Amino acid sequence: MMRQFANTIFRTNPSYELVLIDRLAQEDHDLIDTGEDLDDLYGVLRPCRGSPLKVRSASRETALLLLTLRDPGPIPAYLKKDLGADYRSVVARLVLDEILEVEEAGSFVSGTAARNLVLAEAPNQEGGRLAELSIEALKYGQALEGLTTQELARRLYFYGREPVSSLERRGLASEESIRKYLGQIGDGAAPSRLNANWIEAPKQEDRPWWRMWHPRHSAMGLKAAGYKLYISADYASLPAVFLAFAEALAEGPGVRGFKVARDVSSLCRPDNVIAYFSRLEDLSSGAARIKDYLSDCKARGVPFTAEVTRDGLMSWGIDPPECHSPHASSWRLWVVDRLAEYLLAAKTAGDAEPWRFALDRLSIDGVETGTWVPTNRNGARLMTTG
């Protein structure tokens, strides 16, 4: 929750230099994010010499605000009018990212030091197993040292992964053994359901670790998909999970496909069986049909996803639009990329509990971090990137 800023004084962080794109040296053009909308780009925010701040690109709207607040003052009326109530989240983001500073007791602060000045304490929300698991993952990430943002994001992404050896001891070391175990081939019910209702997609070169099926009654594939349903069950339950997907989803509305881990390493992931839907209502309907098949399944849980069942057996997320997140192709990648960045920023600033700052900062990006429900389909409005 954002605070009210009626009488609050802000200023542009003097440790940043705003540089017009036309005035960037040729060698400095690689500072610009290639996913940025160049038509709206003013230039870059370049840290002054000796500053630990990161380079960020700035839109024309951001540049106008930063030029306005070179002289300390309240948030200008034009921004409030243009953005409506959303202006508070934009301002909070700029302060926590150390682009703007906020006045406190005669001095100016930003980043973790300004958290309580721009964010109100959120009401307690009682989460289930996935909320607990997500905080466990963040505390684990907080304890790691010497990792880059990308390395930390990867550790968060794979939190809860089982050791490969546990499956190899079950004889699941090859693709063929996995297919037999899950019931994709053989004399069971699943192969007949697959043949009647599903078409297996060709193996994707960029994602060879998945085996994907699309419903025969729909030619749209994943183009109309955006909502994904995760099933996270123990290994003994995976054949039942696969049958549930093959049988219960075949004729369901809005079903665009489902995928299952192809190799032993991917099968160890907590999110090793995933279905895609066009709408959230379709996902909810599909989850209800699957639930009857999974009454005896033991849950594992996928961190950073919104619960469908309290035990974490079923959960969901939204893949980010490409225009909003060109570098993250899935909901969890989008989330962990940001969490890793915010964790490291808080650790660098000496915050006592970086995981809390990471949650607070992510909440401004359009995620209810008490429940991991996305609050904005297209993500919060971005004024800067980095």
Joined together, the tokens standing for residue 224 give 């109309």
Residues pairing with 227 in the sheet: 277, 318
- The yes-or-no verdict on residue 102 having pLDDT over 60 is yes
Q: What is the DSSP string of 64-98?
A: HHHHHTTS-BSPPHHHHHHHGGGHHHHHHHHHHTT
Identity at 357, one-letter amino acid code: F
| Residue-level length of the chain | 386
E runs forming strands in 151-209: 198-200
* Tens digit of each residue's pLDDT (9 = 90 or more) over 149-193: 999 999 999 999 999 998 888 889 899 999 999 999 888 889 999
Are the C-beta atoms of 222 and 319 separated by less than 8 Å? no
Rounded CA separation 215/68 (Å) = 55
Rounded CA separation 80/143 (Å) = 40
Q: How confident is the model at residue 323 (pLDDT cuts 50, 70, 90)?
A: very low
- The yes-or-no verdict on residue 265 having pLDDT over 80 is yes
The three-class DSSP label of residue 114 is helix
Q: How confident is the model at residue 326 (pLDDT cuts 50, 70, 90)?
A: very low
pLDDT of 12 reads 97
Q: How confident is the model at residue 134 (pLDDT cuts 50, 70, 90)?
A: very high
Rounded CA separation 277/256 (Å) = 5
More confident residue, 219 or 56: 56
- The yes-or-no verdict on residue 327 having pLDDT over 50 is no
pLDDT of 32 reads 64
Rounded CA separation 260/239 (Å) = 11
Kindly state the helix (H) or strand (E) to which residue 131 belongs, with its residue range: helix 129-143
* Tens digit of each residue's pLDDT (9 = 90 or more) over 216-259: 876 555 555 589 999 999 989 999 999 999 999 987 888 999 99
The three-class DSSP label of residue 164 is helix
Rounded CA separation 361/318 (Å) = 19
Q: What is the mean pLDDT of the chain?
A: 87
Are the C-beta atoms of 246 and 316 separated by less than 8 Å? no
pLDDT of 4 reads 77
Rounded CA separation 281/279 (Å) = 5
More confident residue, 255 or 385: 255
The three-class DSSP label of residue 242 is helix
What is the average pLDDT across 62-79? 95
Rounded CA separation 230/235 (Å) = 15
Quick one: which of 290, 287, 202, 212 has its CA closest to 256?
Answer: 212
pLDDT of 205 reads 83
Lowest mean pLDDT among 63-77, 112-126, 174-188: 112-126
What is the distance in angstroms between the CA of the first residue and the CA of the last residue of the chain? 24
Are the C-beta atoms of 386 and 55 separated by less than 8 Å? yes
